[in-house]
Amino acid sequence: MLLDNFKPSRLRAWTGAVSLAVAVAVVPAQTSWAQSAPQGGGLPDLTQLVEQVGPAVVNIRTMERARAAQLPPGVDEEMQEFFRRFFGQPLPGGPRQGPPGDESQQPQRRGVGSGFILSADGFVMTNAHVVDGADEVLVTLPDKREFKAKVIGTPDKRTDIAVLKVDATGLPFVRVGDANKLKVGEWVLAIGSPFGLDNTVTAGIVSAKQRDTGDYLPFIQTDVAINPGNSGGPLINMRGEVVGINSQIYSRSGGFMGISFAIPIDEAMRVADQLRTTGRVTRGRIGVQIDQVSKDVAESLGLGRAQGALVRSVESGSPAERAGLEAGDIILRFDGKQVERATDLPRMVGNTKPGTRSSLQVFRRGSTRDLQVQVAEIEPEQAQRRASANGAESRPKGTTISQSIGLAVADLTEAQKKDLKLKGGVRVEAATDAAARAGIREGDVIVAIGNTEISNIREFDSAVSKLDRSKPVPVLLRRGELATYLLIRPGPAK
Instruction: Write b or e for each residue in 10-41: b if 16 or more Cβ atoms lie within 10 A of its Cβ, otherwise e.
Output: ebbbbbbbbbbbbbbbbbeeeeebeebeeeee
Per-residue model confidence (pLDDT) at position 335: 94
Higher-confidence position of 108 and 260:
260
Distance separating alpha carbons of residues 77 and 37, to the nearest angstrom: 49
| pLDDT mean over 209-226 | 82
Of 89 and 157, more confident: 157
pLDDT at 13: 30
Query: Which parts of 158-299 are beta strand (E)?
Result: 162-165, 187-192, 200-212, 218-222, 234-237, 242-250, 260-264, 284-285, 288-291
Q: Does 287 show up as a binding residue in the annotation?
A: no
Q: Rounded distance, CA 243 to CA 188, Å?
A: 9
Residue 202, classified by CB atoms within 10 Å of its CB into exposed (0-12), middle (13-18) or buried (19+), is: buried
Catalytic residue among 19, 114, 160, 411: 160
Which one from 19, 36, 129, 251 is the annotated catalytic residue? Answer: 129
Percent of the chain with pLDDT over 70: 75
Structure confidence at residue 390 (pLDDT) = 35
Q: Would you say 308 and 339 are in contact if contact means Cβ atoms under 8 Å apart?
A: yes
Map out the domains of the chain with their CATH numbers.
Answer: 1-281 (2.40.10.120), 285-377 (2.30.42.10), 399-488 (2.30.42.10)
Confidence class for position 205, pLDDT limits 50, 70, 90? very high
Q: Are 49 and 33 in contact, with CB atoms under 8 Å apart?
A: yes
Tell me phi and psi for residue 140, to 5 degrees.
Answer: -120, 125
317 belongs to an annotated ligand binding site:
no
Out of 2-16, 17-31, 110-124, give the one with best mean pLDDT.
110-124
Q: What does pLDDT average to over the chain?
A: 78
Mean pLDDT within 349-365? 93
- Going by DSSP bridges, is the β-strand pair 57-65/22-23 parallel, antiparallel, or unpaired? antiparallel
Q: pLDDT tier at 321 (50, 70, 90 boundaries)?
A: very high
Residue 17 backbone class (left: φ over 0; alpha: ψ -120 to 50; beta: rest)? alpha
Distance (Å, whole) CA 30 – CA 6: 37
160 among annotated binding-site residues = yes
Taking 50 as the threshold, does the pLDDT of residue 374 lie above it? yes
Non-local (6+) Cβ contacts of 26 within 8 A are 56, 172, 173, 174, 175
Give which of 458, 453, 446 is closest to 488, Cα–Cα. 446
pLDDT at 185 over 50: yes
For the segment 173-180, the average pLDDT, to the nearest whole number, is 92
Q: How far apart are CA 97 and CA 410, in angstroms?
A: 73
Phi, psi values for residue 459, rounded to 5°: -70, -35
Report pLDDT digits (tens) over 117-151.
Answer: 999 999 999 999 889 888 999 998 988 899 999 99
pLDDT digits (tens, 9 = 90+) for 383-395: 333 333 333 333 3
Residue 444 annotated to the active site: no
Is 4 labeled as catalytic in the residue annotation?
no
Spatial neighbors of 148 by CB under 8 A, at least 6 apart, are 136, 137, 138, 139, 166, 167
Residue 203 near residue 187, CB atoms below 8 Å: yes
Residue 458 confidence class, pLDDT cut points 50, 70, 90: confident
Q: Which of 13-17, 75-79, 384-388 has the highest mean pLDDT?
A: 75-79
Find out whether 129 is annotated in a ligand binding site. Answer: yes
Which H or E run includes 410? strand 407-411
Please provide the distance, in angstroms rounded to a whole number, between the alpha carbons at the two ends of the chain. Answer: 49
Catalytic residue list contains 160? yes
The residue ranking higher by pLDDT, 213 or 57, is 57
Q: Give the model's confidence band at 45: pLDDT under 50 very low, under 70 low, under 90 confident, else very high.
A: confident
- What's the CA gap between 393 and 423, in Å, rounded? 18
Among 163-172, 287-296, 308-317, 401-410, whose mean pLDDT is lowest? 401-410
d(Cα 334, Cα 328) in Å, to the nearest integer? Answer: 17
What number is the average pLDDT over the span 269-277? 93
- pLDDT value of residue 133: 84
* Greatest mean pLDDT among 193-202, 325-334, 425-434: 325-334
Question: Would the annotation count 229 as a binding residue?
Answer: yes
Give the helix/strand (H/E) hosting 53: helix 47-53
